[in-house]
Structure 1
């Protein structure tokens, strides 16, 4: 490795092992992003792309927000970092916890910070089991999740994975059961079969995100929550993707009128400017640990409540409110769905999904998928060549732009996707 202007010059082939990457092909063919502004990002060749997925569903307020950069910088100059274990705290963590609890759709919410979504899922799973142990029901350890669900890739997240390809080596946690994704009666049967006295929690994304942007049928979320209430099972809303404006409100679950027992959040809480996540526990779940001596949740991450990350979260919430981005998400969800519907006449497209939140998907034609298993990845690359970044998700293409996007941007995306579809169709 040589030195240039004081910096080590990178070899053509880097040692970076990327997540979810076929490294055999990626190792010498990468798109390296070097800068970003609002809805746009640029690579090392100067090529500009529309960020059609808000990176990984998180750049809700857009890139280049100097307010967040300045808030993080000020905090680092004042208190760079200090742990929040035991009786230690810092001002940004205290303030952000209160800001989040005030907006959470439950009474008496308490906020447990983590470093991201996967950490938060593990926290919620352990918290659910610890809660029942604390109230004298330690046998309640069974966790339920749905087909197509994505709850991260940590130990519990892998066990709770409803995407088959993500369950390699799973389950890493015992007593985990999968149920059909939109069938409250099946959820009820699963609880009865296990015995309600053994079931701790049900994990539910308001809209299934990475599993394909699957919008729940009318009444499903409400019915599933009612099943959980009837059996005393904790309803865990996984708002990692759906939160902080993606569904037009703070945690996504409010859209369905459900008051969960636990809410998992990450991604949009800082719009990706700093790694941060957490769990909001309703008052009755927190009570055994907050109001009774001797009960300790023996769990936590080194950087939980990191002051700079929390400063980013505070500034991010201020932007979401000041710029009306939650309302903007609601305004744009219809236009995005319309643009995706306009592409369903293409031979490579089977149908579109969306209309609930500023997110959507194009399901690809099953015949073409069977003939070309790598079709989603090929289309991602083809659309990228026309200046738009989207994500392959199994048999679909996913869309979740920053909440700062405009209808003109959506037109640009539509044109690029159609051009990419045409390019691939000509070769299939």
Structure 2
């Protein structure tokens, strides 16, 4: 199939491609709203030649930006030398060993050992299974329950879906009754669930350092220190879901570092390879790793064909090198400050905008009928803002779960001040256009 027209591609897409997290009926009727062709820096270009600022790093993951030829070269070299090798039965290879050691160097505390997956959902599912196995091999099989949070997103594998605190995702699969969801920023409610269910039945608590898909919800200053203390008090494992917040996104290497806490396990994906190739993982504390080694009888029967894929791990190593060499963690922090200052200016100029917030380059601003009083529009307006932004060449995201009416931004970590201004100018025009249509 060469030299297909846009119309031919649209028809093939409608007939043959079932899109993830998309409106199936709309796809069959209209086809894809955009067919992308290439990317460079923070920009994407579609098949018609129209250019867009990718204000979401696609799915929060293209941290080093598009068009990185050095990552392509590393992938090519590794494919030529060793395209695949099993890591089962303790077989290994150089890229996975080096990447494991590098991640252990970067992660806080004694998080020293990595189990690799192909992405975030697999990572969170694996962390849940590892937590249950950890207790089972210590003669406590009743410790199976998982506490997570409302509005949290942990993925779409079966366990990850159950941990996700957004009910819309539960409609696609039966949710396990062994999962419980606390209010998003209430440590007291976590304690309440533990005491009600019995601490002897709880395996782990799982949380994103900053709630991402649920609307960029930033925790109170002492929240995670309280959570860590509660987990220690009841001997419950604490899993930090760093799938979105890891590898510089929040202005720290890992989001949880903003609150000075070390979890027992950390799940990673997205930014570890900047989306250039699928990769994820679970980083284990020394205590968990040694317990697994000492008490697991024989083989640990959990693993994926592509756990520790040579090409993926080689690309991830180079990706981390780029983040280090170009000081992108610090740039994320500095550009986050530019973004919050821009939000404050927008709030002064556009009275429907309020509650702008950032942690590094995770950012959100809310749309109100009247930001001063908190009055909302009867119909959520953020999706219309996003639609208007796309027309003007900015890709962003809306969150309308529960009371939220929020526009979200998470641009590549390479973004600069001028590009932040461009992004905010488009956002302002898009809000004004959406409000005009609504009124």
Q: Report the TM-score, using the length of structure 2 for normalisation.
A: 0.92
1:117/1:264 contact within 8 Å kept: yes
Q: 1:377 to 1:225 in 2, by over 3 A?
A: same
Aligned 1:202-351 pairs, distance under 5 A: 202-292=205-295, 294=297, 296-345=299-348, 346-351=350-355
Aligned equivalents of 1:338 and 1:197: distance in 2?
A: 47
User: Deviation per CA, 1:313-372, whole angstroms, max 9, x where unpaired?
Assistant: 000110111111111111111111121232234344343222x22111112226886532
Shift of 1:226: 0.9
1:134/1:295 contact within 8 Å kept: no
Query: What is the match of residue 383 of structure 1?
Result: 389
1:329/1:403 contact within 8 Å kept: yes
Query: What is the match of residue 189 of structure 1?
Result: 192
Aligned equivalents of 1:341 and 1:108: distance in 2?
A: 38
1:59/1:402 contact within 8 Å kept: yes
User: Deviation per CA, 1:161-219, whole angstroms, max 9, x where unpaired?
Assistant: 11221221454334111111111111111111111111110001111111100111111
Aligned equivalents of 1:400 and 1:225: distance in 2?
A: 27
Matched, 1:67 2:77: no
Query: What is the match of residue 412 of structure 1?
Result: 422
Query: What is the match of residue 26 of structure 1?
Result: 27
Q: 3-state SS of the aligned residue for 1:291?
A: helix
Aligned 1:154-165 pairs, distance under 5 A: 154-165=157-168
Matched, 1:398 2:408: yes
Aligned equivalents of 2:74 and 2:433: distance in 1?
A: 44
Matched, 1:12 2:18: no
RMSD: 1.9
2:137/2:296 contact within 8 Å kept: no
User: Deviation per CA, 1:226-275, whole angstroms, max 9, x where unpaired?
Assistant: 11111100010000000000112222111211111000000000000100
Aligned equivalents of 1:86 and 1:286: distance in 2?
A: 17
Aligned equivalents of 2:360 and 2:343: distance in 1?
A: 14
2:111/2:264 contact within 8 Å kept: no
User: Deviation per CA, 1:52-106, whole angstroms, max 9, x where unpaired?
Assistant: 1111101111111111111111000011112211222221111111111121213
Aligned equivalents of 2:19 and 2:141: distance in 1?
A: 39
Matched, 1:372 2:379: yes
Q: 3-state SS of the aligned residue for 1:158?
A: helix
Query: Does 61-70 or 362-371 show the bigger shift?
Result: 362-371
Aligned equivalents of 1:396 and 1:108: distance in 2?
A: 34
2:111/2:283 contact within 8 Å kept: no
Aligned equivalents of 2:92 and 2:384: distance in 1?
A: 48
Q: 1:49 to 1:314 in 2, by over 3 A?
A: same
For structure 2, which runs of at least 5 residues remain unmatched after alignment? none
1:106/1:261 contact within 8 Å kept: no
Runs of 4+ residues over 4 Å off in structure 1 = 3-9, 366-370
Query: Does 45-54 or 3-12 show the bigger shift?
Result: 3-12
1:336/1:359 contact within 8 Å kept: no
1:288/1:295 contact within 8 Å kept: no
Q: 3-state SS of the aligned residue for 1:10?
A: helix
1:143/1:175 contact within 8 Å kept: yes
For structure 1, which runs of at least 5 residues remain unmatched after alignment? none
Query: What is the match of residue 108 of structure 2?
Result: 105
Q: 1:397 to 1:293 in 2, by over 3 A?
A: closer
Query: What is the match of residue 425 of structure 1?
Result: 435
Q: 1:177 to 1:7 in 2, by over 3 A?
A: same
1:235/1:260 contact within 8 Å kept: yes
Query: What is the match of residue 353 of structure 1?
Result: 357
Please state which structure has a larger fraction of its residues in helix.
2
Alignment coverage as a number of residue pairs: 424
Aligned equivalents of 1:316 and 1:379: distance in 2?
A: 33
Q: 1:258 to 1:119 in 2, by over 3 A?
A: same
Aligned equivalents of 1:69 and 1:273: distance in 2?
A: 8
